[in-house]
Amino acid sequence: MTTTFSHLACIACGRRYETDDIRYRCDCGDLLEVRHDLEALAHAYPDLKARFESRLGKFEKPYCSGVWRYHELILPDLPVAAIVSKPEGNTNLYHSERLSRAFNTRNLYLKHEGENPTLSFKDRGMTAGVSWARHLGMTRVACASTGDTSAAMAAYAAEVDGMRGIVFLPHEKISPEQLAQAISYGALTLAIETDFDGCMRLVAEVCARRPIYLLNSMNSFRIEGQKAIGLETLQQLGWRVPDWFVIPVGNAGNISALGKGLLEARALGLIDRLPRLAGIQARAADPFYRGFLTGFKQRPVVEAAPTYASAIRIGDPVSRDKAARAVLAFDGVVEEVEEAELMEAKGMADRAGVSVCPNSGVALAGLRKLRAQGTIGDAETVVVILTAHGAKFSRLGVDYHLGALADAQPSAPNPPVRVRPLLDQVLAALDKEG
Ligand SMILES: *Cc1c(COP(=O)(O)O)cnc(C)c1O
Ligand SMILES: [Zn+2]
């Protein structure tokens, strides 16, 4: 393969590797990232913004995708013929009076990544990761997952003839909807009696021993696809830069991707300044928050306790160093929120007509906290990244309104009203409400 624009580089020692070298870490043990020669890109494509604009409204793959619209910035060396796209992206950026009032933030935008094909942002990483796997000729792909990575990987592997997806799931720690996704898309599904961190260690060992391509977010190519969340948001805002991006943090790949994409966008002149970043965690699993409190001098590892935000129940985030770098480069902050706060915030978005998952509830609760502290000002423009759809956690949504969650009582409960199938009873129920 002749690499034109990109190579892999270690984030600690800087050592370079070719992009067809199948490796997830540097020889020194640290993380790798894909680096693009931005000068060469700018030279080859002097009209990047116009290119991205010209692809809007197109229906043909791959450029109709909200990831591959930015092909030159995602994986410029990947041939179009290798791309596996559903397509993905093109998610709504919600902005309404109702939402602004609910979250006491005038210029509020919610980027709803739950509107991707498998209902989470993981599709953006997987279209890049599975495409790269196909490009490399890998026929087996694997990941450990808190539910959404496995759903996305299974769905993208299912599109490629001869490709097998293998998922490592923590037994009974993901939602039934997420489990249904992995098995119905045909992945070999291993339910393992451990937590996510245990699954992560196992899958990394297995991929080192078998010719299986690892598609966790320590795979740098996935991160490239996830950058498109930020790029697409900027394009939807007419390339105006918001003051803040607020995003939930688990394994810390997504906030790293957001930061990387924004830095590249500025280096290429697509934008002229940087926003600030706010990473939010659930208190039950808050190692990144704890690291932030030490100025990232320490890298705490915790045993992640149960949380409704099960997709970010991670005690030892793989991408913490990349994420820490992003938080520092963007004058960022990290906050944490309680179970009751994240469910309350989820309930508020749901009630305003935007169905969100509890992990997105973490980001929304973080916004409320940062607004209350005054860290985020009233007039500032804020984009909150919603990471998955509420439909992936429907039991939780019902239990919340039934008042069945011990540590999160709804402030506006709306349980179903039981009525017998008699007209006068139905009318009585309506009239009672007024
Ligand atoms: C994966 C995931 C996250 C966390 O993203 P990281 O890159 O692991 O920090 C948040 N929310 C949902 C719904 C997810 O699936
Ligand atoms: Zn290194």
Q: What tens digit of pLDDT does each residue of 76-89 get?
A: 999 999 999 999 99
Q: Would you call 320 helix, strand, or coil by DSSP?
A: helix
> What number does the ligand 1 atom closest to the CA of 392 have?
13
Residues 311, 148 contacting (CB under 8 angstroms): yes
Residues 289, 272 contacting (CB under 8 angstroms): no
Which residue shows structure tokens 């009696």? 193
pLDDT of residue 156: 98
287 lines ligand 1 (CB under 6 A): no
pLDDT of residue 20: 94
Mean predicted confidence (pLDDT) in 119-124: 98
Q: Would you call 382 helix, strand, or coil by DSSP?
A: strand
Terminal CA-to-CA distance of the chain, rounded, Å?
Answer: 71
- CATH 2.30.40.10 for the 93-118+223-402 domain, yes or no: no
Asked if residue 271 has pLDDT above 50, the reply is yes
Residues 101, 348 contacting (CB under 8 angstroms): no
pLDDT of residue 385: 98
From atom 14 of ligand 1, which residue's Cα is the shortest distance away? 311
pLDDT of residue 434: 74
Q: Which residue from 115, 118, 148, 355 has its CB within 8 A of the most atoms of ligand 1, so it is best to mutate? A: 148
How far apart are the C-alpha atoms of 373 and 383, rounded to whole Å?
Answer: 18
357 lines ligand 1 (CB under 6 A): yes
Contacts of 404 (CB under 8 A, 6+ apart): none
62 Cα distance to chain centroid: 21
Residues 296, 328 contacting (CB under 8 angstroms): yes
Residues 387, 120 contacting (CB under 8 angstroms): yes
209 Cα distance to chain centroid: 29
252 lines ligand 1 (CB under 6 A): yes
DSSP of 210-244, one letter per residue? SS-EE-STTSHHHHHHHTHHHHHHHHHTTTPPPSE
pLDDT of residue 150: 97
- Read off the pTM: 0.97
> What number does the ligand 1 atom closest to the CA of 226 have?
7
HEC assignment per residue over 242-297: CCEEEEECCCCHHHHHHHHHHHHHHHCCCCCCCCEEEEEEEHHHCHHHHHHHCCCC
Closest-approaching ligand to the CA atom of 146? 1
116 lines ligand 1 (CB under 6 A): no
Residues 409, 343 contacting (CB under 8 angstroms): no
> What number does the ligand 1 atom closest to the CA of 249 have?
9
Q: What tens digit of pLDDT does each residue of 213-231 get?
A: 999 988 999 999 999 999 9
In this structure, what token pair is assigned to residue 68?
A: 């591959």
pLDDT of residue 215: 97
387 lines ligand 1 (CB under 6 A): yes
How far apart are the C-alpha atoms of 107 and 243, rounded to whole Å?
Answer: 10
Q: Is 119 exposed, middle or buried (0-12, 13-18, 19+ CB in 10 A)?
A: buried
388 lines ligand 1 (CB under 6 A): yes
The residues with which 189 forms a beta bridge, in sequence order, are 167
Could you check whether the bond before residue 317 is cis, i.e. omega within 30 degrees of 0?
no
pLDDT of residue 3: 54
pLDDT of residue 1: 44
Q: What tens digit of pLDDT does each residue of 360-376 get?
A: 999 999 999 999 999 99
Q: Which residue from 251, 316, 346 has its CB within 8 A of the most atoms of ligand 1, so it is best to mutate? A: 251
Q: What is the mean pLDDT of the chain?
A: 97
Closest-approaching ligand to the CA atom of 10? 2
How far apart are the C-alpha atoms of 35 and 166, rounded to whole Å?
Answer: 28
Q: For the sheet containing 188-192, what is the strand order?
A: 188-192, 164-170, 140-144, 213-214
* Residue-range domain boundaries for the chain: 93-118+223-402
Mean predicted confidence (pLDDT) in 152-160: 98
Q: What share of the chain is helix, strand, coil (3-state, %, to 5)?
A: 45, 15, 40
205-214 long-range contacts, Cβ below 8 Å, gap at least 24? 206/142, 207/24, 207/142, 210/140, 211/138, 211/140, 212/138, 212/140, 212/141, 212/142, 212/166, 213/22, 213/133, 213/136, 213/138, 213/140, 213/141, 213/142, 214/24, 214/141, 214/142, 214/143
Rounded to 5 degrees, what are φ and ψ at 341? -70, -40
105 lines ligand 1 (CB under 6 A): no
Contacts of 283 (CB under 8 A, 6+ apart): 307, 336, 337, 338, 339
250 lines ligand 1 (CB under 6 A): yes
400 Cα distance to chain centroid: 24
How far apart are the C-alpha atoms of 318 and 46, rounded to whole Å?
Answer: 35
pLDDT of residue 4: 87
* Distance (Å) from CA 250 to ligand 1 centroid: 6
Confidence class for position 41, pLDDT limits 50, 70, 90:
very high
How far apart are the C-alpha atoms of 181 and 243, rounded to whole Å?
Answer: 36
From atom 4 of ligand 1, which residue's Cα is the shortest distance away? 250
Classify the C-alpha dihedral 11-14-15-16 as positive or negative. Answer: positive
Mean predicted confidence (pLDDT) in 151-170: 97
Asked if residue 205 has pLDDT above 70, the reply is yes
254 lines ligand 1 (CB under 6 A): yes
Q: Would you call 409 helix, strand, or coil by DSSP?
A: coil
259 lines ligand 1 (CB under 6 A): no
Mean predicted confidence (pLDDT) in 338-367: 98
From atom 1 of ligand 1, which residue's Cα is the shortest distance away? 311
Rg (CA), the chain: 21
356 lines ligand 1 (CB under 6 A): no
